[in-house]
Structure 1
Amino acid sequence: MPRLTHQTPKYRKHRASGQAFIELSGRRHYLGPHGTKASHREYDRILGEWLAAGRSNTYGVPADSITVVELIARYLSFAKDYYGTPKRGTYNNMRLGIAPLKELYGRTLANEFGVLQFKAMRQRFIGEDLSRPYINERMRQIVAVFRWGASEGLIPAVVAQTLAIIPGLRKGRSGVREPSPVKPVDLSIVEDTLPHLSTVVAAMVKFQMHTGCRPGEVCGLRPSDVDRSGDVWEAKLTQHKTAHHGHQRTVYIGPQAQAILTPFLLRGAEDYCFDPREATEEMRAKRAEARKTPISCGNRAGTKRQKNPKRQPTAKYTTQSYGKAIYRACKDNDIPGWSPNQLRHSLATRVRSEFDLDAAKTLLGHQSIGITEVYAEKDRKKAIEVARMIG
């Protein structure tokens, strides 16, 4: 089989006509008389555009002949490099969200996808009994694909502009199901769950209860993030939900949360505080302790482990694995189920009732771009005071 290479297409000569040409994705682009400065300039221009387009197979295809499936393929290639490929990241959300578009309109010319096709897609989602906000999010994903295509010159801009002005489904006026709101979890249920969790996951839950951080923030916390110079510690996170908007996120850690976190800071500065491998070792140690067969009989500890298991504990919890640990503990012990994100709602409710809305907003990291430095400092002091008292 021939080897796949990424060599730059060459400046070539068509002997019959004496014209120079470059061949890209099976299409010849003639440059003018071979050997002239003008043909070399044209070669440089076309090659530069092709490289800027990511060596796309659709380069040079007229905008009125690109199909929806080709547009989707180009967009996903861009999104994979731009967003990365975590399981719950933007790339996979987009890939799953626009799959029905490819299924229904994959062979349709992209410039023929208009209002009727857009509303037909939306009606399909309504027929699947999806919630109104989720349907609107799916439709925004479709618009994003066409907007990107227009920005790359793949389709006429009017296509994306037309789709963008179609209003979303309005609450109470569309007859579409509304999602159930996320409510605070009863802290007595959390207390009932804690004994059935590993030491690591129980500490994560308690830390969230006192700080109101997001599940992803507690999963990604590292010792290097934590500034311990004050009586209230501050964890300044570089990776969080709104980092791509240029927002800063600080988790304020009061005395109670500090006591929970301190044992998990005794590791490398760049290691994750809460390590799933420690929970796995704890689970195995408990199983060995509960062993009824004498050690002299049966299998020795560790002999039944696979040499190369498909799934191995990693150095960091994900929001999914963290949530599943809580889900299993609740299910196995007949405890009402709850999710880690509900802990934020519980803390927000408490802070708002005991203090005020501004304190809850800052403590939970709900900041907007237009907040002035003076206003942010005022909120910061308020959040530190709250953390000192209840954190």
Structure 2
Amino acid sequence: MARKRNPAPAYIKHTKSGRGRLQWYDAAGIRHEKLLPGLFGSPESLAAKARLELEIATSPAAPLVTGIDPRYGASVAELLVAFLEHAERYYRDPDGKPGSEVVSLKRSIKPVRELYADLSAVEFGPKALAVVRQSMVRAGLCRNLINKRIDRVKRVFKWAASEELVPVTTYEALRTLAGLRRGRTEAKESEPVLPIDDETVRATLPHLPHYIRVMVELLWHTGMRPSEVVAMTLDRIDRSVAPWVYRPAHHKTAHRGKARAIPLGPNARAVLTAFLVDRSLTPDAPLFSPKRARDERFEQLRLGRKTKVQPSQVSRKKTNPKRKPSERYTAHAITQAVAIATEKAGVPHWHPYQLRHAFGTKVRKLFGLEHAGAALGHTKMSATEVYAQRDSALAVEVAAKLG
């Protein structure tokens, strides 16, 4: 019987007790035992031991959720815990930290845990999933978001089936629940993301902090994603060609082996050149740093001070502040700053991603759909190398005339 102890790293111990017996502690500190075939030290016992060691290394979460019997003994809550442990290892950014998909998964499975935590995972079927979906409708979520979250719940059980924590039939049954259709559900519809007009952007810019304003202008002139602009570094910008080309180290389709090249036309180059004046940055340092922005703001305040600095005001920096400024902005920081700026400017609220839609709309109107796809970095998984090269040439043409 599994017994709990203080958390300890997983390890394996082979003991002699007549027949071969394998004991191990998982990462949660729970002890597990399995009786092996044959006598201790026999070929059958050693072969089974080696196989089980590989199974534990391949799926460290499985022993946690199923105890002695690895076949279909987990509750929904245990299954969700095991999946989240897998997700935090699998969905990681290149810097090793859990990515945004982990947050989305947690939000998606929260109502499953709240409604069916104690239910056996094998018994969680389409009707239970429909109940979870209805709870999302009542919570006021829009139809598209509900469908995405339900698909993530199905992904949890797909993973569980691949780990043999539930039978495949459990996952296949969940797949029979169709997504909500427009006009055939009480779930509200999301507002379409529309391009933002240039006049509204121009009215907003003066009310943005300097660093945020530069990033917004780059989004405006290039159509890149907010997550790409906050990651800009000098060593990722090729300034030896015209137009300049920014190649993000991390982007949306990097995990699929796709390259991303963002040409920087005259407008974008002018914005970057003006920003880099009197700033000395290391090649791999983020161009836009909240810490550097704060230091520059404080320096300007000190230079503009007309009265003598009092001894008590020479340095008010806390030794160990609870919140330290980050080295890099987040896409959410741009969204927040734009929301505040639109209120100050007295213009309708808009989202930074609308700049990408606006850029794509302009390109399509001036050059056509193919140019728009190239400029925004839209490629199919089956695209050939020749197709990608043609896209690059089209994107450069767009940047030279519009960027």
Q: State the AA in 2 paired with 1:276.
A: P
Of the three residues 77, 84, 103, the one matched with 2:85 is: 77
Question: Structure 1: how far apart are the matches of 2:348 and 2:223?
Answer: 21
**Contact 2:137/2:186 (<8 A) preserved:** no
Question: Structure 1: how far apart are the matches of 2:130 and 2:69?
Answer: 28
Pairwise CA RMSD of aligned residues? 2.4
Q: Could you say which residue in structure 2 is the equivalent of 1:6?
A: 9
SS at match of 2:261: strand
Of the three residues 63, 67, 72, the one matched with 2:75 is: 67
| Matching of residues 210-289 of structure 1 within 5 Å | 210-262=221-273, 263-264=275-276, 266-288=280-302
| Matching of residues 155-170 of structure 1 within 5 Å | 155-170=166-181
Closer/same/farther in 2, CA of residues 327 and 287 from structure 1, 3 Å limit: farther
The range that moved more, 167-176 or 152-161, is: 167-176
1:7 deviation in Å? 5.8
Question: Structure 2: how far apart are the matches of 1:88 and 1:58?
Answer: 24
Question: Structure 1: how far apart are the matches of 2:335 and 2:302?
Answer: 26
Q: How many residues align?
A: 385
SS at match of 2:22: strand
Closer/same/farther in 2, CA of residues 296 and 284 from structure 1, 3 Å limit: closer
Question: Structure 2: how far apart are the matches of 1:50 and 1:250?
Answer: 41
| 1:54 counterpart = 2:60 | yes
Question: Structure 1: how far apart are the matches of 2:315 and 2:371?
Answer: 50
SS at match of 2:370: helix
Q: Could you say which residue in structure 1 is the equivalent of 2:23?
A: 23
| 1:329 counterpart = 2:341 | yes
| 1:45 counterpart = 2:51 | yes
Q: Could you say which residue in structure 2 is the equivalent of 1:134?
A: 145
Closer/same/farther in 2, CA of residues 244 and 104 from structure 1, 3 Å limit: same
Q: Could you say which residue in structure 1 is the equivalent of 2:27?
A: none
When the two structures are superposed, what TM-score results if normalisation uses the length of structure 1?
0.91
Closer/same/farther in 2, CA of residues 224 and 290 from structure 1, 3 Å limit: closer
Residues 306-345 of structure 1 show CA distances to partners (whole Å, capped at 9, x for unaligned) of 2222221222111112222222333345443322111111
SS at match of 1:237: coil
**Contact 2:143/2:189 (<8 A) preserved:** yes
Closer/same/farther in 2, CA of residues 276 and 27 from structure 1, 3 Å limit: closer
Between 1 and 2, higher relative CO (CA 8 Å, sep ≥ 6) is seen in 1
State percent identity of aligned pairs.
Answer: 33
Question: Structure 2: how far apart are the matches of 1:332 and 1:300?
Answer: 31
**Contact 2:65/2:73 (<8 A) preserved:** no
Question: Structure 2: how far apart are the matches of 1:266 and 1:87?
Answer: 31
1:289 deviation in Å? 5.8
Runs of 4+ with >6 A deviation: none
Closer/same/farther in 2, CA of residues 87 and 191 from structure 1, 3 Å limit: farther
Question: Structure 2: how far apart are the matches of 1:169 and 1:193?
Answer: 37
**Contact 1:198/1:283 (<8 A) preserved:** no
Q: Could you say which residue in structure 1 is the equivalent of 2:136?
A: 125
1:92 deviation in Å? 1.4
Instruction: Name stretches of at least 5 consecutive residues in structure 1 with no aligned partner.
Output: none
The range that moved more, 67-76 or 29-38, is: 29-38
| 1:353 counterpart = 2:356 | no
Instruction: Name stretches of at least 5 consecutive residues in structure 2 with no aligned partner.
Output: 25-29
Question: Structure 1: how far apart are the matches of 2:280 and 2:369?
Answer: 35
1:21 deviation in Å? 1.0
Closer/same/farther in 2, CA of residues 368 and 94 from structure 1, 3 Å limit: same
1:228 deviation in Å? 2.1
| Matching of residues 79-98 of structure 1 within 5 Å | 79-84=87-92, 89-98=100-109
1:53 deviation in Å? 1.7
